[in-house]
Amino acid sequence: MKEIIVGVSGINAVDNPGPGIGVARSLKEDKGLDVRIVGLAYDAMEPGIYMDWLIDKSFIMPYPSAGHDAYISRLLYIKESYGLDFVLPTLDAELPLYIKYAPELERNGIKTFLPTLEQFKLRSKDRLEEVAREIGMKFPKTRVVSSYQQLRDAVEEIGLPVMVKGIFYGAEKAYTVQEAIAHFNKIASQWGFPIIVQEMVSGEEVNVVGAGDGEGGHLGLFAIKKLWITSLGKIWTGVSIKNDALLEFADKFVSTYRWRGGFELECIAKDDEIYLIEINPRFPAWVYFATGSGLNIPANVLRRALEMDYEVKDYEAGRLYVRYTYELVTDMEKLHYMTTKGEA
Amino acid sequence: MKVKRLAISEDGFIFDPTTGNSFTTNETGLFILQLLKEGKSPEEIVRELVNQYDVDEQEAERDVLDFMEKLRRYKLL
């Protein structure tokens, strides 16, 4: 079996975890693959660096904002010094750069399997209504605002309470106009304009992780309900579900947009209607839930990208997902080399 | 009928695979739920309750209707 060296980012397994560890664990658990994982870290303290049973070697990366030269040359250095056949980026902020320079990486022997820039842009919250309409889902009333007056008008039109959101990040509940203004200021100062004002839909929060093959077919779809979340809104306990309508919407999302790579749909089920709340153009941090239930979606992405056989397996509803905290104790060597040499 | 999709364990743990919600019920609730799942009508369930338990028809009917109302509230019926 030929060894495949895969770069995975988002190995920050902290209280707001990146998806990298779940992805790395999934790839390692595919017995038909011989995978060596390269952790692409942004800080020497990212726990994945020290999880040597999953991450074989780690490198500190420049931030994507450093631009093409710094970032791509770092990847090419990894390719040359250690080997790198495939990169599976898992963080939103990295994706535009990887998407843009995927052909250059491919020419240098580093494959990716990512959405196109057009597909990536669908995650923008001001495109939510368009996507939901196209695939037949319900959506919360949404207005895009950039001034206090527009904010007041939107709140009046939608009715309180509302969600105030940044176009890509940040979401706060507002029960009064004053609260909406405070959130507007906070999100604008942190993430910039425009701001999204959205109807608050109450119901069951249900999510789907999946991946598309880029030609309209899917590489696995897996639905869950979050049973318990942290104060940061991150899943801690969940259960797998078989909601046919939800899975059909996810399938339609993949086929309509010919989605390529991993994704997550965040939805709310209210009575018999399903509202689309958010599209994430990458795997969620809980992606291992699908793998642990028998459907290894990250491995299917890798297999599809490398033109290997893959199988979209079925899964059972009622599988329980439980996160837990655990500790490891190691010596300073890795921290030492990550800090001084940027790799270990 | 939504009740048909429910996974019901012998000790009264109920899981709805569509929503991910779970519930618990007592022995009587479990008895009624199993019969609803088999497609029995409320009248048939009342008769079975009277045969099986020390309860008169009026009380059994009230219990069945109350329980079905609860199932509706939880969107299980």
- Proportion of chain A above pLDDT 70, given as a percent: 100
Q: What is the mean pLDDT of chain A?
A: 95
In this structure, the strands spanning A260-270 and A162-166 are unpaired
Distance CA A221, CA A20 (A): 19
Examine residue A106 and state whether it is found in any structural domain, yes or no.
Answer: yes
Q: Which residues of A, range 233-252, sit inside 8 Å of B by Cβ?
A: 238-244
- Are the Cβ atoms of A241 and B7 closer than 8 angstroms? no
Which residues of A fall within a CB distance of 8 Å from B7? 317-318
Examine residue A130 and state whether it is found in any structural domain, yes or no.
Answer: no
pLDDT digits (tens, 9 = 90+) for A263-307: 999 999 988 899 999 999 999 999 999 999 999 999 999 999 999
In sequence order, what DSSP letters do the residues of A254-323 get, joined into one string?
Answer: HHHHT-EEEEEEEEEEETTEEEEEEEESS--TTTHHHHHTT--HHHHHHHHHTT---------TT-EEE-
- Proportion of chain A above pLDDT 90, given as a percent: 92
Q: A305 and A294 share a domain?
A: yes
Examine residue A231 and state whether it is found in any structural domain, yes or no.
Answer: yes
Task: Give the confidence band of A312 by pLDDT, cuts at 50, 70, 90.
Answer: very high
Contacts of B67 (CB under 8 A, 6+ apart): B28, B29, B32
pLDDT digits (tens, 9 = 90+) for B9-66: 999 999 999 999 999 999 999 999 999 999 999 999 999 999 999 999 999 999 999 9
Looking at the structure of chain B, the number of domains it has is 1
Whose tokens are 């991946």? That residue is A211
Q: Is B21 on the interface with A (CB under 8 A)?
A: yes
> Of A199, A227, A248, which one is at a domain's C-terminal end?
A199
| B44 phi and psi angles, rounded to 5 deg | -65, -40
Report CA-CA distances (Å) from A296 to A211, A248, A291: 11, 19, 4
pLDDT digits (tens, 9 = 90+) for A56-73: 999 999 999 999 999 999
Looking at the structure of chain A, the number of domains it has is 3
Nearest to B18 among A224, A227, A241 (CB): A241
pLDDT at B1: 74
Report CA-CA distances (Å) from A256 to A115, A119, A129, A207, A218: 13, 11, 15, 19, 11
State ipTM. 0.84
Nearest to B19 among A238, A244, A269 (CB): A269
pLDDT at A124: 87
Provide the CATH number for the domain around residue B56. 1.10.10
How far does A219 lie from chain B, in Å, by closest CA? 22
List the end-to-end C-alpha distance of chain A, in Å, as a whole number: 26
Q: A306 and A224 share a domain?
A: yes
Provide the CATH number for the domain around residue A78. 3.40.50.20
Examine residue A133 and state whether it is found in any structural domain, yes or no.
Answer: no
pLDDT at B40: 95
Which domain range does residue A65 map to? 3-113+327-340
Provide the CATH number for the domain around residue A162. 3.30.1490.20
H or E segment and range at residue B46: helix B42-52
Which residues of B fall within a CB distance of 8 Å from A244? 18
Task: Give the confidence band of A311 by pLDDT, cuts at 50, 70, 90.
Answer: very high
Q: A176 and A221 share a domain?
A: no
- Over range A80-94, report the average pLDDT: 97
Examine residue A136 and state whether it is found in any structural domain, yes or no.
Answer: no
Interface probe for B, chosen from A243, A249, A315 (most Cβ of B below 10 Å), is A243
Q: A188 and A283 share a domain?
A: no
Q: A77 and A102 share a domain?
A: yes
Choice between A140 and A167, residue whose per-residue pLDDT is larger: A140
pLDDT digits (tens, 9 = 90+) for A170-191: 889 999 999 999 999 999 998 8
With 90 as the cut, is the pLDDT of residue A220 above it?
yes
In this structure, the strands spanning A260-270 and A235-241 are unpaired
Which domain range does residue B48 map to? 2-73
With 90 as the cut, is the pLDDT of residue A131 above it?
yes
Mapping DSSP to helix (H, G, I), strand (E, B) and coil, where does residue A183 land? Answer: helix
Tokens at A10, concatenated: 């988002």
Provide the CATH number for the domain around residue A301. 3.30.470.20
Helix-, strand-, coil-residue percentages of chain B, each rounded to 5: 55, 10, 35
| A130 phi and psi angles, rounded to 5 deg | -60, -45
- Are the Cβ atoms of A241 and B15 closer than 8 angstroms? no
How far does A247 lie from chain B, in Å, by closest CA? 11
